[in-house]
Amino acid sequence: MKLTADRTEFIRANTALEAPSMVPEFKLHLATEITPIWQATEAMLEQAGIDPPYWAFCWPGGQALARHVLDNPALVAGKTVLDFAAGSGVTSLAAMRAGARRVIANDIDAMALLAVGLNAASNNLTIDVDQRDLLALPPDPAVDVILAGDVCYEKPMAAAVFAWLRKNAALGKTVLLGDPGRSYLPVQGLAQLARYDIPTSLQLENRGMKETVVWRVLG
């Protein structure tokens, strides 16, 4: 419990409640400066095995998915939704706000799931969390919709994730992917649903505005 409390306090101490540009409906615990939280996390890494703080930033793929879900609530209303590699949990919050019956935020990073819990509480929403490596498990028949943002930035991961997403889509699940033109986005097996221009930090991305696409993954 003390380790969890320490990590929760770390999140609170190194972030501020901010509204992401594309989803001002929510306030999230986000890093206002990149270098300090990265350095603080590296210091904790040596002591407690902390992963880099990807959860402290609202990446464009997640923002695009969240915006699309909020604007098209029928995609998730009354359904069980899995937010894969949830990070800050912005897509989870959008799905819950749009009327999902249940939302599960999945991430292998324990700090990310603590951040999801804090962000859900800050927005008066309830999100379930799951730290399992779902790529090693068969598709969950209870899940109706899978949302995945910014998962194609590393070649091996992108290949494994996309194969798993297509396996789920082949079972009839709605599988949506948010991507700002990452290098390893597959060129086949996708249908474009929407495009958004997402303001981004030049410290995180190579330009101040990222055109981000919401794709439907085909089975």
For 80-119, what is each residue's pLDDT tens digit? 999 999 999 999 999 999 999 999 999 999 999 999 999 9
pLDDT of 15-69, one tens digit each?
A: 889 999 999 999 999 987 665 655 665 555 555 555 667 888 899 999 999 999 9
pLDDT of 73-86, one tens digit each?
A: 999 999 999 999 99
Going by CATH, does the domain composed of 59-217 fall within 3.40.50.150? yes
The dihedral region occupied by 39, where left means phi > 0, alpha psi between -120 and 50, and beta the remainder, is alpha
164-174: average pLDDT: 97
Percent of the chain with pLDDT over 90: 68
The pLDDT of residue 206 is above 60: no
CB contact at 8 A, 215 and 65: no
Residue 5: exposed, middle, or buried by beta-carbon count in 10 A (0-12, 13-18, 19+)?
exposed
Q: What pTM was estimated for this model as a whole?
A: 0.90
What pLDDT was estimated at residue 7?
Answer: 82
Where exactly are the structural domains of the chain? 59-217
What pLDDT was estimated at residue 54?
Answer: 82
Q: What are phi and psi of 195, to 5 degrees?
A: -130, 140
